[in-house]
Amino acid sequence: MYEVGIESRRRILDAAEELIAERGFEKTSIVEISKRSGVSRGSIPWHFTNKDGILLAVIDRVTSRFFGAEVMLETGASIEPRTVLARFAELTRRDGARLLFAAVNHAVTATGPVRQQYQEFFAGERTKIIAWLGLAGVPAKERQPLAAAILSGLLGATLQWLVDPGDVDLEATIDALAEMITDHLHVDL
């Protein structure tokens, strides 16, 4: 029985991810999630309290997959910016970048747990980048503002690529960002 619950939850989240990425959060309904997932509409509240609960679970799952600790640190022994940022670009192309920005858009205007989860998400990502910068020997006083700038650059590059993929080369943009980081730090990462 436990496995059935896990499978239903996975199907609901898969359907919600797809629909939110396609239509945005506001235009996605529980009815549509139910239809696409094959899970009855009445069962969805058993897994998630409401639509915001689904969004919170989707955000958690996608951000774990998209921005998990391995994104910044799984590059093996390398802490070279191009290697770490290239991994980010690879995940951007492969995973739910559109969903991530649809959810971020909702978080900007939302209050309560959705906004709080995004605050925690961004704080966590800055913490990972700060750890990476520490491994690279960046002085502690420079890590926090540099981490915010790097995260902004990564997210901005991704957003531009999603909106205008014909005019924005994500890999070249990531390379430029890595070069700017290396030049700014004047350290050999």
Q: What is the per-residue pLDDT for 66?
A: 58
Residue 118's pLDDT band, with cuts at 50, 70 and 90, is: confident
Q: What percentage of the chain carries pLDDT values higher than 90? A: 20
- For 145, the token pair is 């503002």
Q: What is the per-residue pLDDT for 186?
A: 59
Q: Which amino acid is at 67?
A: F
CA distance 18 to 157: 22
E strand or H helix at 22, and its extent?
helix 2-23
CA distance 183 to 64: 30
Q: What is the per-residue pLDDT for 157?
A: 87
The pTM (predicted TM-score) of the whole model is 0.68
3-state secondary structure of 13: helix
Q: What is the mean pLDDT of the chain?
A: 80
User: Is pLDDT above 80 for 51?
Assistant: yes
Q: What is the per-residue pLDDT for 39?
A: 94
The domains found in the chain, sorted by start residue, are 1-48 (1.10.10.60), 60-185 (1.10.357)
Q: What is the per-residue pLDDT for 77?
A: 44
3-state secondary structure of 164: coil
Q: What percentage of the chain carries pLDDT values higher than 70? A: 80
The sign of the dihedral angle between the CA atoms of 172, 133, 99, 116 is negative
Q: What is the per-residue pLDDT for 167?
A: 94
List phi, psi (to 5°) of 40: -60, 145
Whether 48 and 13 have beta carbons less than 8 Å apart is answered as no
Q: What is the pLDDT of residues 64-86, one digit of tens each?
A: 765 555 554 554 445 677 777 77
Roughly what angle, to the nearest 10 degrees, separates helices 2-23 and 30-37?
120
